[in-house]
Amino acid sequence: MADVENNTKSSRDNDPDNLSTEDYNQIDPHILECFPPVRYPVDLYEFRESAGLLSRIYTAGEDVSGAQRERFRELSEDGDLFFSRKQISQYSATVATNIKMALKDPNLAWEEKSSILIGELKIRQDDLFDHPMPRELKALTQTLETLCSYLSRSPSHIMKIVQHIHADLSPPRRRVNASLMALAVYTKLHREDLHSKTLNAVALGFFLYDIGMTKISHLMLGRKQKLTPMEQRTMRGHPGKSDTILTRLSLIQPEIREPALQHHERLNGSGYPNKLKGNAISQLGRIVAVTDTYSAMITDTPQRRGFSTAEAAAELLNREELYDPVICRTLVRFLQTIPS
């Protein structure tokens, strides 16, 4: 088993990290390209086969010369460039700049990949909601297509994403959490016939379902007092505003429009905007009705504290007249995988 040398005269006596190569990971050449050009975020180690040890050749934060970059690239191509697992958080933050590479990176556990992915999706979703323009739409679409391609091959990875959703239940995360929970439920329901092309459109619909809320005043949304009747009518108009934005972006596929228009419809016809009943509500609309409500329940608001996951699940299961029971039970099965 290889030793680690700190590349200093007193490395054996003074280096507390005198570790084996099991505590270090190789850096792929494609990953190295994600590193910033001037200063690297992690220490770099060279594996010297003749001595059977790792030797530190770069310290994080130092300026990197052109000659150094070339040498590091060559070492990486030969499989001789390593970093310490103690710096995995800095490494992950750097790899996150290229989501495709992050999902392929063997150095990252799926817990770490899930965290990177959720963070990137939140940024892209927020950007599009703030500026619903083609460039922002393309950025979100590309990130979702990367995720969907991965899920179509390995649907079980959605479990880790669901677990990471519940690591942050703050109000800024409510929208992306609801979108990802909807994608998780859909993936579970269609696990035998997942196709990337269909999944791409479905995922985009889930991530755009609430875009009309950007047209509602932040003062109204953040108010502790009960909304006036006029404000309630304004609030209930946001599905139509979503549809207007989607149409302007040429997003007219049913998989994209249905979640936006139907996530406030209820099985007994008591919802809005069209008071649809039962099977008149599409499956996608029924899925987002459940996950949007669930996400709202578990998120703290100015009016109240959020429910626990168990309380929210029980509430949904007890409202079969409003929410599709099959979808509710599918959601609950995901919740049962979350560590207590």
Pair (83, 137) in one structural domain:
no
pLDDT above 70 (res 270): yes
Report pLDDT for 6.
Answer: 43
Q: What integer best gives the mean pLDDT of the chain?
A: 88
Q: Are residues 148 and 201 in the same domain?
A: yes
Token duo for residue 176: 């992306």
Count CB atoms within 10 A of the CB of residue 71.
16
pLDDT the model gives residue 11: 36
Q: Are residues 92 and 115 in the same domain?
A: no
- Which residue, of 39, 65, 97, is where some domain finishes? 97
pLDDT digits (tens, 9 = 90+) for 131-182: 999 999 999 999 999 999 888 888 888 888 888 888 888 889 999 999 999 9
The pLDDT, as a whole number, for residue 22 is: 61
Q: What is the Cα gyration radius of the chain?
A: 24
Instruction: Judge whether residue 81 has pLDDT over 70.
Output: yes
Shared-domain flag, residues 166 and 44: no
126: containing domain: 110-335
Backbone angles phi, psi at 228, to 5 degrees: -75, 165
Would you say residue 51 lies in a domain?
A: yes
Same domain, 13 and 157: no
CATH at residue 214? 1.10.3210.10
Please identify, among 97, 121, 155, the residue that sits at the C-terminal boundary of a domain.
97
- β partners of residue 194: none
pLDDT for 106-115, tens place per residue? 899 888 888 8
Query: Do 92 and 114 lie in a common domain?
Result: no
Mean pLDDT to the nearest integer, 215-223: 71
Q: Structural domain tally of the chain?
A: 2
User: Are 198 and 311 contained in the same domain?
Assistant: yes
> End-to-end distance of the chain based on CA atoms, in angstroms?
37
Structural domain contains residue 281: yes
